[in-house]
Amino acid sequence: MSLVPYVLGGVCMWFLMLQSGVHATIAGVLLAFAIPFSAQEEDAASPSHRLEHVLHKSVAFVILPIFALANTGIVIGTDWVHNLTSTNSVGIIGGLVIGKPVGITLLSFVAVAVGMCRLPLDLHWRHIFGAGLLGGIGFTMSIFITNLAFVGNVAMINASKMAILLASLTAGILGFLWGKLFGKP
């Protein structure tokens, strides 16, 4: 089955939805329901499966980062480096880069220690810590909370967003490096 009719129909549907005043993302949801997908393992050539593999890397590595950065509304002023040394910014960076991995690891340890759960046989505490490092990428929720916490204080919101961006980037890099160095089973 060819993807061409689905792509052409989807572009047409998106344009018509946009012109009608209905949010155009609804077209994407409806199109996703219309593209055939089969759960059978031997049906790896379904249009939905092919489309997913064609779009995966560009969406994950280009579209989502651009979307996230465009929606943050960070204004990079001349004092952005100075703002990163404020107690609020240092607290945000410390919370995301240090607090998240420590908290995730400790609470996981407590849950295992009290018998609430157990680690799978091929999973070790270094893997839990690595997941905790990646947990520090709390980008979108942190910005959402910042916008709620500092309503009306544009300078504080902007400084906090810059700290969140730096902390998320740092946590992502540290988590990646940790996984590369210590993530092997």
pLDDT for 154-180, tens place per residue? 889 999 999 999 999 999 999 999 999
Structure tokens given for 18: 């946009």
Domain boundary among 72, 97, 121: 72
Count of domains observed in the chain: 2
Share of the chain above pLDDT 70, in %: 95
At 68 the pLDDT is 76
Residue 164: Cβ within 10 Å count: 26
d(CA 137, CA 171): 6
pTM above 0.95, yes or no: no
Burial of 112 (C-beta count, 10 Å sphere; 0-12/13-18/19+) = middle
Residue 172 and residue 123 share a domain: yes
Domain that holds residue 130: 80-182
Q: Are 96 and 169 in contact (CB under 8 A)?
A: no
Residue 92 and residue 47 share a domain: no
